[in-house]
Structure 1
């Protein structure tokens, strides 16, 4: 072999390949060209070779987030971070802030803050308009000033599953459900300036790379996504790779989605189409076989589910990988039924996101149909409770809550399981997510009871969800996700071993380096 551009050495290398013990990796032109031991690495060196010896660190393939919203997320995370708020008093304190550009904005609000009380604008200040996104990003809470500015005086009919929650007298409570309703107020918010959005997106990517992420699946490609990716790449390589799937809504022209499939850059590309078959359990907009305890979550996000199936058929026939958000049992079943009849044109498997509650009869269909299950462990560990006292569990009832977030059942059935964050719905740090997948509780919270601990993944399963399983989900099993000659030189190095360290400890493990395409994008 020719001399290497980069040699990375460490006491432990998890190749995810079942190979002999490896302590050295050679990289040339962005590709792994050799693996071996430190002694043998001398023959790979040339005058210009960079050698990085990480000592007792552990190297793994670069981690891949299965589900994130980078461009939508930088807009969603404006204002006050409310993700740590746990009580109404804490909410009032957090909102005692100076509004920016005339509005008080916030994000990440957990509906469990309201306990068993209705979610209303009662705790919000009234002297300025307020717009707060709840954690699921499918709902928002606004005050009377914001309702007045938007001209919202009562309930409205929407073609989608959107809604304006009203009290018994028909007066809006301030709780808005799904995009059509949110946008009545959101469109009034002051816009970000393009330079600020570029800075924030680049900063996000750098922070993600610093956690060991080398790639992610962007579950949107809307608005200014193209301009942002092109502008950042004009200034240099992105700190990580992105695979983007534009939204397909009931009113979307699928021809525009097909046109976007041709877009790409050095470290990003459009490949896929993102659908939603339902909303959320917390907001009462999921699609369940039976109504929730509020009599809600009974309908598909699409006014006519057959229109979803037809759009899927058109795009899949053109070779576009289908991605569908499906949370409720009825929604998951309908998506599987739709995918079952499709010919496989693309090498990239179709996939279903979230999968929050489903009966056992659906679990085995993922392997049978070669459909990727894509899940976010912290959706369970951050927003539900072992005793079912949380909003999600109360709405579903014990039977359906007990069959929630079935990550282990899916893996044991032989299904392909990709893991991710759904940032900004939950934090993007894969170390904490890997820990949560193993613990079924938040990392660093040993006093919290695990939620359905029988669904915990092993350490290796959790790491595979970010490496080998993630690569297979993107149709890249032969070129990514392992440390093997001929594979992408995407690497992450941790000071603790993710397969042997305690999950809580690994969640705090510093990342020594992150390498994308043979370039060091993060170094401690």
Structure 2
């Protein structure tokens, strides 16, 4: 047998305790078939040899929480991520270009741009009077719609939804433009022009290729929105997906579990439905995180499922059916409820997950770890907060709850499984940024004060969060390490991601990405 791919001239961090280091890797098909001298012996006439000149190879990075097609389908139009205040927003809106039907669409707007004031469509009407305008805020759970956009959607007052969702209205019952959570936003999105499938496939490919260029070999897709499963299938008719994708469709309040169980049979060459996504709450900034005590505006006291017992029944049904559940839980009450729902349930070896855990009470950490639940967190979200608690997230929670922001180190030190991800398009998909934020607790290359620096991870812990811990969470015994027989997922860094300074790692080139034996990036 000869290798298809032979990687040489590299320092390998295998993350395999039985063989921690290596200097050569042989790949045949989608498997690692030999290491070191045994690998060199498999060089044949058809073997592609890649000499990395001393670069460092690790197991392939996996993004533990991402929305690639949702991002491609909804985060388009005017990029508002750099708007720091309302004057910035006015300038960006003035320069925005209208699309089909005269719609002006924007994305990525930070709540902090409103300077603590109410989030309404007043600035939209000031700059773009009479225009149908829809601005999605950075959290993906809220949007601001203009008067004309609301008119086209037939939204004239409050609505009642099965889920915790709201059309915000003033004291006279007139919509302010603020739409909280998915059902409310969908009222307007339903009348907006949809992007053509061909454009969606193009945008999806660009996003996934960009991810591979940052070292990602796979990702956990936390939705099946925008016709994702059919788009993945149609993409694979012409090309391989640059990343392996593990998909978790949503199960919303009022829905039964039967449909999402049936979806578990859907798969392609490099994607598969293998979990179900729930929401236990929304976001702190939107006032929809489920908190044990109200936020500073008196909100945050309700679950996304108006009947939390119905959520408990649904996740337990899925656990009995041997289907992995992943639950969005940001507030402390939401996290506590997910733990209570699953801590004494027979899981049949399935590793159920809690996503985000943005404000985690210290006393819950041991209970969380004992439950066997996997914690999934997004270090880049720290970048939306400030060490002095002057940001909207911190102000809403108050100093005590803000001080326990993204308690990554507490979970790891307690022996818990911690998976790291980006939540793209909510934050950058650059895997190097995820690793560096986890270590620095601030944006790389800046002098910002770190947020809760005692929660910083070591370089090794951060790397494990996107490799060994990610594989454990997925139940993938053949992944997350470099060993003979393991899946050939490799990420090659120009610097050592464990020992190099985190600010340096953030800018270091990715020399090679291999996903299941497929070379997806060369740097």
Alpha-carbon distance between aligned partners in 1 of 2:282 and 2:310, rounded to the nearest angstrom: 17
Matches within 5 A, 1:171-190: 171-190=174-193
What SS does structure 1 have at the residue aligned with 2:63? strand
Give the SS at the match of 1:319.
Answer: coil
- What is residue 339 of structure 2 aligned with on the other side? 336
Contact 2:130 2:147 in 1 (8 A): no
User: Are the counterparts in 1 of residues 24 and 40 from structure 2 also a CA contact under 8 Å?
Assistant: no
* Structure 1: 4+ residue segments shifted above 4 A: none
SS at structure 2 position matched to 1:261: helix
**Quick check: 2:13–2:20 contact (8 Å CA) kept in 1?**
no
Q: 2:384 matched to 1:369?
A: no
The 5 Å alignment of 1:120-519 reads 120-124=120-124, 125-345=128-348, 347-380=349-382, 382-445=383-446, 447-476=447-476, 478-519=477-518
Q: Distance in 1 between matches of 2:178 and 2:276?
A: 29
- Describe the SS at the equivalent of 1:388: coil
**Contact 2:214–2:510 (CA<8 Å) still a contact in 1?**
yes
Q: Deviations over 1:204-245 (max 9, x none)?
A: 111111111000000012342221111111213211100001
Give deviations 1:311-345, integer Å, cap 9, x for gaps. 11111111100110001111100110000131122
Aligned counterparts of 2:331 and 2:308: Cα–Cα separation in 1: 14
Shift of 1:248: 0.3
Check whether the contact 2:26–2:40 (CA below 8 A) recurs between aligned residues.
no
Distance (whole Å) between structure 1 residues aligned to residue 117 and residue 163 of structure 2: 26
The answer to whether the Cα contact below 8 Å between 1:10 and 1:59 also exists between their aligned partners in 2 is no
Name which of structure 1's ranges 174-183 and 19-28 shifts more when overlaid on structure 2: 19-28
SS of aligned partner of 1:520: strand
CA distance in 2, matches of 1:323, 1:178: 18
Report SS of the residue matched to 1:105. Answer: strand
| CA-CA distance at 1:41 after TM superposition | 4.4
User: CA-to-partner distance for each residue in 1:71-101, whole Å, 9 max, x for gaps?
Assistant: 2121121211211221211111111222111
Q: Structure 2 vs 1, CA of residues 333 and 20 (structure 1 numbering), >3 Å: closer, same or farther?
A: closer
Report the CA distance shift for 1:151/1:42 in structure 2 as closer, same or farther (over 3 A): closer
Structure-2 separation of matches of 1:268 and 1:20? 30
Per the TM alignment, residue 147 of structure 1 is displaced from its structure 2 partner at its CA by 2.0
Distance 2:426 2:20 in 1: 40
Shift of 1:168: 3.5
Deviations 1:104-147 (A, max 9, x none): 10111100011121112222222411100111111001122212
Is 2:7 the counterpart of 1:8? Answer: yes
Partner SS, residue 300 of structure 2: coil
- Deviating more after overlay: 7-16 vs 134-143: 7-16
Q: Classify the secondary structure of the residue corresponding to 2:84.
A: coil
Q: CA deviation at 1:496?
A: 1.4
Q: For structure 1, which runs of at least 5 residues remain unmatched after alignment?
A: none
Equivalent pair of 2:267/2:273 in contact (CA under 8 Å): yes
Report 1:39-188 matches (<5 A). Answer: 41-96=39-94, 97-101=96-100, 102-124=102-124, 125-188=128-191
**Secondary structure of the structure 2 residue equivalent to 1:242:** strand
- Give the distance between the partners of 1:45 and 1:480, measured in 2 at CA: 24
The alpha carbon displacement at 1:401 in A equals 0.7
**Unpaired stretches in structure 2, ≥5 consecutive residues:** none
Count of residues in Structure 1 that have an aligned counterpart in Structure 2: 517
After TM superposition, the score normalised by the length of structure 2 is 0.96
Contact 1:76 1:424 in 2 (8 A): no
Judging changes above 3 Å, is the alpha-carbon distance between structure 1 residues 10 and 127 closer, same or farther for their aligned structure 2 residues?
Answer: farther
Q: For residues 406 and 283 of structure 2, what CA distance do their matches in structure 1 show?
A: 14
Q: Point out the more displaced range, 110-119 or 360-369.
A: 360-369
- Alpha-carbon distance between aligned partners in 1 of 2:473 and 2:289, rounded to the nearest angstrom: 25
CA distance in 1, matches of 2:365, 2:492: 34
User: 1:261-307 CA distances to partner (integer Å, 9 max, x unpaired)?
Assistant: 01111111101110001111110011111111100000011111111
Cα distance in 2 for partners of 1:51, 1:81 equals 41
Greater displacement, 450-459 / 361-370: 361-370
Contact 1:10–1:58 under 8 Å retained in 2: no
- TM superposition score normalised by structure 1: 0.96
CA distance in 1, matches of 2:153, 2:10: 60
**Post-superposition shift, 1:42?**
3.5
Q: Is the 8 A contact 1:275 1:324 kept in 2?
A: yes
